[in-house]
Amino acid sequence: MRWGGRRVARLRAQVVAVYGTRCVHCGELIDLTVPSTSPMGLSVEHLQPRSQGGTDDITNLRPSHLHCNTARQARPIGAIRRAEGRPDWATRPGRAG
C-alpha cells in the first residue's frame, strides 16, 4: 500500500475532522494554512507505527506538527508530553473546532 498523494490528503482531512488540529506531541495548535511540507505544517501521526503493523485506520491516526512527528522518531507517543509534564490527553479524541 502506497503512502502518499491523494490518500494522505483524505486521511489528513479525516484526522482534522475527528481529532481537531492540536498536535498529539507538543499540544500546540497546528496552523492548517502552513504548507504540510513546512516543519510547523500538519502531519498525520500513527500511534502504532506502520513499520510495526499499524494501520491507516482513523483510530490509529492523530494530528501532529511535521517537526514533532519527525522529532519523535521511534519514541512512544507521550514521551515528549510526559517530559514536559503535560496531561495525558493524546489517546482521547479532541474537540474538533
Instruction: Tell whether residue 25 is a contact of Zn ion (CB under 5 A).
Output: yes
Query: What is the rounded CA–CA span in Å between residue 72 and residue 26?
Result: 10
Q: Which is nearer to Zn ion, 6 or 92 (CB)?
A: 92
Site residues for Zn ion, 62-81, by CB under 5 A, read 65, 68
Residue nearest to Zn ion (CB): 23
How many residues lie near Zn ion (CB under 5 A)? 5
Q: Which is nearer to Zn ion, 59 or 70 (CB)?
A: 70
Query: What is the rounded CA–CA span in Å between residue 56 and residue 13?
Result: 13
Instruction: Tell whether residue 23 is a contact of Zn ion (CB under 5 A).
Output: yes
For residue 20, give every residue at least 6 positions away whose Cβ sits within 8 Å of its Cβ, in sequence order, or none. Answer: 63, 94, 95, 96, 97
Is the separation of the CB atoms in 46 and 72 below 8 Å? no
What residue ranges bind Zn ion (CB under 5 A)?
Answer: 23, 25-26, 65, 68
